[in-house]
């Protein structure tokens, strides 16, 4: 396959085809000793006693796969079936991973532990808006899928694949939490788990986000959530508030899907919609189960100035409270390109990550559904309709489980290679579906209730 970077450059020169995508958060002090007398020698400093080591929580029975083990603090001792993958950026294109099974680190840590997964180049694997401006171009969608697969199966990822496969053998209800502290936009949901010869009893091989429920956490949310927060599901039940940008090519399909569930008039004015989110909730009235935004994104040179529909991040971060979503009862769904992208702001001089997922979680939303890249205008309303249908059919299923099923369906529809020109649309649909990710509480469920007056 030719170098993808050159292919991408060539794609931008291709004549426009079908409609483009929706363009789019010292030394420890000790008591001071009296001043020594001039004739007396200075007293020698004594080494303080070493602190007692912190006991490491016991692992569940199973094969020993650890390359390092340490405990998280008490607030992070999650149930064993919740596996947390913490991603640390070590260089502009390199990173390393720590993996936690419940409260015990059973994978990685320092580079010497063998957990280095370096060499990721976001310019090759990240689906940027400009790369997908034209859905019919020199870039065949299958090339992206092939690159996801080859990167996943590289030797530098062998240990990660083995660790995840071992966990799948031990936990039938495994749930993966990704806490990615990098700005590399790594497509974790499209990480390929190949079934090795000695794991023939695994349920199935395939893409991580299609065979397991995957929840993403921002670094702030990862510090905020404790084990007691994961003892039970959070049911988001009720109506919806929606903003629908004028002039979208989707033809109002998303409004048609949400119409019966909307509390009040659909919003088409950006300022009025944001103002509505900031209004106090009247006594006796429930907060919406969903806040939905169907819009374009507008990217700028300064990513902090990027606007996603009615949301300009730098402006939104001035808000201290958004009462309509602050009660821990609401899912935010921003159906626009790059709406779930997390990024750094270079002129701040640090590696802090910003983005709408972090903002809405800080505001008290249970979770946020968004996209990590460009999406097709045809796919956006279809994904909304499929999520609503899946939630209605199985209201007890957490949102990450629903998204996992949608990815599995897209993968099944595409089928195995070889692929021909007849498979192009299915391949684009695969990419679009895998671009949808979920940030927030891993056990959040959604049950929309009709707001239509009989």
- DSSP secondary structure string, 141-185? HHHHHHHHHHHHTSGGGHHHHHHHHHHHHH-TT-EEEEEE-SSS-
List pLDDT tens digits, range 137-190.
545 788 888 888 888 888 778 888 888 988 888 888 899 999 998 888 888 999
Phi, psi dihedral angles at 99 (to 5 degrees): -120, 130
What's 232-448's CATH class? alpha beta
- The pLDDT of residue 298: 76
Half-sphere exposure (CA, 13 Å, Cβ side) for 125?
Answer: 21
Confidence bin at 6 (pLDDT 50/70/90)? very low
Q: What is the pTM of this model?
A: 0.79
Residue with tokens 């060539």: 10
332: Cβ–Cβ under 8 A, 6 or more apart, which residues?
290, 291, 293, 325, 360, 365, 367, 368, 369
Tokens linked to 247:
């002039």
Tell me which of 242 and 6 has the higher pLDDT.
242
- The pLDDT of residue 401: 97
Choose the most confident range, by mean pLDDT, from 100-104, 218-222, 303-307, 429-433: 429-433
Confidence bin at 249 (pLDDT 50/70/90)? low
Proportion of the chain above pLDDT 90, given as a percent: 36
Domain residues of the chain, as ranges?
Answer: 74-222, 232-448
Confidence bin at 217 (pLDDT 50/70/90)? very high
Between 134-143, 239-248, 356-365, the lowest mean confidence (pLDDT) is in 134-143
Between 72-81, 141-150, 226-235, 441-450, the lowest mean confidence (pLDDT) is in 72-81
Rounded Cα–Cα distance for residues 102 and 123 (Å): 34
Mean pLDDT, residues 337-352:
84
Tell me which of 72 and 138 has the higher pLDDT.
138
Q: Spell 343-382 as b/e; 16+ CB within 10 A means b.
A: bbbeeeeeeebbbbbbbbbbbbbbbbbbbbbbbbbbbbbb
Between 119-128, 134-143, 197-206, the lowest mean confidence (pLDDT) is in 119-128
List pLDDT tens digits, range 21-67.
343 233 333 333 334 444 444 444 344 454 444 443 333 333 333 23
Proportion of the chain above pLDDT 70, given as a percent: 70
pLDDT at 418 over 50: yes
Tokens linked to 172:
């039938």
Residue with tokens 């004028």: 246
* Order of strands across the sheet that contains 175-180: 104-108, 95-101, 82-89, 175-180, 214-217, 436-440, 367-371, 331-335, 290-294, 240-244
List pLDDT tens digits, range 278-305.
999 999 889 999 999 999 887 655 666 6
- The pLDDT of residue 110: 45
- The pLDDT of residue 54: 40
Element (H, E) at 432: helix 424-434
pLDDT at 11 over 50: no
């Amino acid at each position: 396959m030719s170098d993808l970077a050159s292919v991408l450059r060539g794609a931008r020169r291709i004549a426009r085809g079908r409609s483009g995508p929706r363009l789019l958060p010292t030394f420890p002090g000790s008591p001071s000793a009296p001043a020594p007398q001039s004739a007396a020698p200075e007293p020698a400093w004594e080494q303080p006693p070493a602190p007692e080591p912190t006991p490491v929580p016991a692992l569940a029975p199973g094969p020993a796969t650890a390359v390092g083990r340490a405990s998280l603090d008490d607030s992070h001792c999650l149930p064993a079936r919740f596996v947390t993958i913490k991603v640390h950026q070590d260089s502009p294109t390199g990173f390393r991973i720590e993996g936690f099974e419940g409260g015990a680190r059973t994978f990685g840590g320092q580079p010497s532990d063998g957990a280095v997964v370096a060499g990721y180049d976001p310019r090759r694997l990240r689906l940027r808006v400009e790369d997908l401006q034209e859905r019919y171009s020199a870039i065949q969608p299958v090339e992206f899928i092939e690159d996801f697969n080859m990167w996943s199966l590289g030797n530098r990822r062998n240990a990660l694949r083995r660790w995840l496969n071992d966990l799948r053998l031990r936990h039938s209800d495994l749930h993966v939490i990704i806490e990615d502290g990098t700005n590399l936009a790594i497509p974790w949901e499209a990480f390929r788990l190949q079934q090795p010869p000695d794991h023939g009893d695994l349920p199935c091989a395939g893409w991580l986000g299609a065979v397991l429920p995957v929840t993403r956490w921002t670094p702030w949310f990862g510090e905020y959530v404790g084990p007691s927060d994961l003892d039970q599901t959070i049911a988001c039940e009720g109506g919806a508030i929606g903003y629908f940008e004028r002039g979208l090519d989707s033809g109002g399909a998303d409004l048609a899907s949400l119409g019966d569930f909307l509390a009040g008039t659909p919003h088409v004015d950006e300022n009025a919609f944001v103002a509505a989110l900031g209004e106090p909730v009247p006594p006796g009235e429930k907060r919406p189960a969903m806040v939905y935004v169907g819009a374009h994104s507008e990217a700028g040179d300064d990513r902090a100035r990027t606007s996603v529909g009615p949301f300009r991040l730098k402006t939104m971060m001035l808000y201290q409270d958004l009462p309509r979503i602050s009660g821990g009862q609401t899912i935010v769904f921003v159906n626009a390109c790059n709406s779930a992208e997390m990024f750094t702001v270079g002129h701040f001089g640090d590696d802090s990550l910003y983005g709408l997922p972090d903002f809405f979680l800080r505001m008290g939303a249970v979770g946020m559904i968004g996209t990590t890249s460009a999406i097709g205008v045809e796919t956006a309303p279809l994904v909304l309709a499929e999520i609503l249908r899946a939630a209605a059919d199985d209201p007890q299923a957490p949102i990450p489980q629903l998204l996992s099923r949608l990815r599995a369906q897209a993968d099944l529809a595409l089928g195995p290679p070889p692929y021909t020109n007849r498979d192009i649309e299915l391949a684009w649909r695969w990419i679009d579906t895998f671009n949808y990710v979920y940030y927030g509480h891993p056990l959040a469920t959604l049950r929309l209730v009709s707001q239509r007056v009989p």
